[in-house]
Structure formats: structure tokens, C-alpha cells
Amino acid sequence: MFKDKIKILGAYGGKGIDANNTSIQIDRCSVIDAGNIIKAIGDDAKYIDNIFLTHSHLDHIVDIPFLIESFYEIRNKPIKIYALKETIDHLNRYIFNWNIWPDFTDIDLINQKHSIEFVEIQVNKVLQFKNFSIKPIKTNHTISSCGYVITKEENSIFFTADTFICDEIWEELNQNLSIKQLIVDVSFPSRLEVAAQTSKHLTLKLLKEELKKLKRDDIKIYINHLKPTYIEEITEELKVLGLDEKITILNDSDVINLKKLKRTSRKKDLDIEQLIMKCSTKDDFDRVIKRLEKEKQKIR
């Protein structure tokens, strides 16, 4: 599954009916950010050994306490949390402090090993693992933050996570020719630029300006971290700005192939499942089937 792929466990900058917080699965044991691990992969969450954090905001860390607690009894090695120094400090001070949540740095597993271990990372310093390498890149958010370049078999994708205007992103893209795909934050519609600037996120118009710094035309661009309230508005704005053929909005459960430069989406399948689940009568079900048949005819 993960040989040359990554999976979007959560694609958004908040929780909605069909939208979940940010998290990306790199392989069976490793994720970037912990916004939506347990709901997305269920019991397989017990295999997660490595969490790479971009920053310490709640929508990126929320599953960490539950991940540790839920599988505490069956784990035989610590969950390693890779993060910038400031991010580790925030987790220790505000989460694992016995007030918000037990301090699992003080609670050993049954086999006497630590429950969690924090690993401080440095920007631009590559970390090498069996199936991938990962490189933190400085980004521009309201607190200390980084994005990551994930590389598998010399094919790379750059995930910026939450960011505002940031030269380091475009410098990395212009210099590192192995990067062929980019996942970049667009949280708000352009009419809310003041809110975006204050919270240090991008809008589509801001991203359009930032793209002028990109000196390459071979980068496939995805956007994520849309606030669920504005998904439809940002989708429409993509078309109005003429960016809909150049930029793709990511959804929960999307799979990105680093080698083939291809995204596989389950959104339509999930939408159909939701429609069927809402059926309370045979007439409701028949209406859904007729609608799906009409859509098939349009495709033909």
C-alpha cells in the first residue's frame, strides 16, 4: 500500500460532518500530524510508532493523547514524537501536565519502556527511515512551525502544513528537483484575507501571488487545510480565478502516488455511502439509485 504512496487521513483545518483535521500517513507506522488518526485507520492505529508534528496547534495534535491511552496495554515500545523544540515544550507544558492529560513521559509501558519519547528535529536536517526520508522545512505560522519533504525512492512531495507567505517554501521547491508535488495550506476564501493574515494562513489569491516565486512548471499542486465552513466557497473561487485546472483540493482518504504523480480519491464513493445511509425508506433508496444512474449516463 505505502511503497510509493501517502494517504490523507484528514485533509481539513477543522472538523465537519464529512471533514476531519489534518493528518497524513506515510507508511504503516508513521504519520505527519495527529489530527485524525484513530477515526481514519481504526485498530491499525496501534501500529503507529512515529508521529512527525508540524506545530502544536490542537487540530494537529488532538489524537496523540488518545492514541497513547487506547493502545497502552498492548504497546511494547514508545511512540516517538518528532518535533521542533518549541512544539515539544508546548506539549509538555500544556498537554502532558496532569491537568489536561496524564504526563505519559512519566508513565512507563507494562514492559518498563517509556510510553512516549520526544525527538527534537532541526530544520533542513534529513531523517532517514527504512521506507522513506523526511526533511523539515521552516514555515511561517503564528507559532514555531515546519513543513516536510517526504521522499520515497527519489520521488518527493512537499507538505507545507499551516503557513503564510514564506520564501523558504519556494526556495526548497526551486532547488530540490526531486519534488514533483506540493500540498499547501489554503484555509480561507480570499474575501477573508484579514483573518488569514492574522492567523497566518493562505487564501487562493495570496497563493496565486506566492506561486510567482516558483521557477518551475512541473509541480503538481494540491491545497489542504480548508476550513469546513468555506469548502464550497473556495471550490468556486478556484474556478473564478482560473486555477481549477492547476490546483486540486484534497479530501479525506485521498491517496497520492509519489512515483506516478497521481491522486486517487474516494470522495465520490464516500458521498454515495452517505446518501445510502440517509435512506430511511425504499423510496429514498430508489431515488438515490436513479440519481446515480443519471450520473452514469452523463459520463457515457
Mean pLDDT computed over 273-289:
71
**Which conformational region is residue 190 in: left (phi greater than 0), alpha (psi within -120 to 50 degrees), or beta?**
alpha
The tally of domains found in the chain comes to 2
Identify whether the C-beta of residue 64 lies closer than 8 Å to the C-beta of residue 163.
no
User: Under 8 Å CB-to-CB from 160, ≥6 apart: which residues?
Assistant: 137, 139, 147, 166, 169, 182, 183, 184, 185
For residues 229 and 254, state if they share a domain. Answer: yes
Residue 43, class by beta-carbon neighbours within 10 Å (0-12 exposed, 13-18 middle, 19+ buried)?
exposed
Rounded mean pLDDT of 166-176?
Answer: 98
Contact 4, 153 (CB under 8 A): yes
Same domain assignment for residues 195 and 283 = no
Q: What is the reported pLDDT for 292?
A: 61
What percent of the chain lies above the pLDDT cut of 70?
A: 92
pLDDT > 90 fraction of the chain, expressed in percent and rounded:
86
CA dist 157 and 241 (Å) reads 25
Is the domain of 136 the same as that of 276?
no
Average pLDDT over residues 280-286: 75
Q: Residues 9, 136: one domain?
A: yes
Count the Cβ atoms, other than its own, within 10 Å of residue 179.
21
Cell (9 digits) for 294: 443519471
Residues 85/170/245/252 CA torsion (nearest 10 deg) = -10
Shared domain for 240 and 293, answered yes or no, is no
pLDDT at 282 (0 to 100): 75
For residue range 39-71, what is the model confidence (pLDDT) as tens digits? Answer: 999 999 999 999 999 999 999 999 999 999 999
DSSP string, 15-62: -BTTB-B-EEEEETTEEE--SSSHHHHGGGGGG--EEE-S---HHHHT
- Residue 212's pLDDT is what? 98
What letter represents residue 243's amino acid?
Answer: L
Contact 189, 230 (CB under 8 A): yes
Same domain for 278 and 196 = no
Same domain? 38 vs 142 = yes
Is the pLDDT reported for residue 274 higher than 70?
no
Per the prediction, the chain carries an average pLDDT of 93
**Cβ-proximal residues to 270 (8 Å cutoff; 6+ apart), any chain:** 18, 252, 253
CATH number at residue 186: 3.60.15.10
Q: Assess whether 152 and 290 both reside in one domain.
A: no
The pLDDT assigned to 298 comes to 43
Per DSSP (E only), the strands in the chain are 5-10, 23-27, 30-32, 50-52, 79-83, 116-120, 127-128, 133-138, 146-152, 155-159, 179-185, 220-224, 247-249, 255-257, 262-264
Note the pLDDT tens digit of each residue in 67-119.
999 999 999 999 999 999 999 999 999 999 999 999 999 999 999 899 999 99
182 and 228: one domain? yes
Q: Which residues, other chains included, contact 114 with Cβ-Cβ below 8 Å and sequence gap of 6+?
A: 78, 105, 108
Phi-psi region of 214 (alpha: psi -120 to 50; beta: other; left: phi over 0): beta
**What pLDDT sits at residue 266?**
73
Same domain, residue pair 18 and 152: yes
Above 90 in pLDDT, residue 288?
A: no
108 and 224 in a single domain? The answer is yes
Task: Find the domain containing 182 and state its range.
Answer: 5-265
| Banded model confidence at residue 276, pLDDT cuts 50, 70, 90 | low
In this prediction, residues 231-258 reach a mean pLDDT of 97
Residues 152 and 228 in one domain: yes
Backbone Cα Rg of the chain: 20
Q: Supply the pLDDT for residue 69.
A: 92
Owner of C-alpha cell 508546548: 90
pLDDT beyond 90 at 277: no
With cut-offs at 50, 70 and 90, classify the pLDDT of residue 299.
Answer: very low
Summarised one tens digit per residue, pLDDT across range 195-244 is 999 999 999 999 999 999 999 999 999 999 999 999 999 999 999 999 99
Q: Quick one: pLDDT band at residue 281, thresholds 50, 70, 90?
A: confident
Which pLDDT score, from 0 to 100, does residue 289 have? 76
State residue 300's pLDDT score.
37
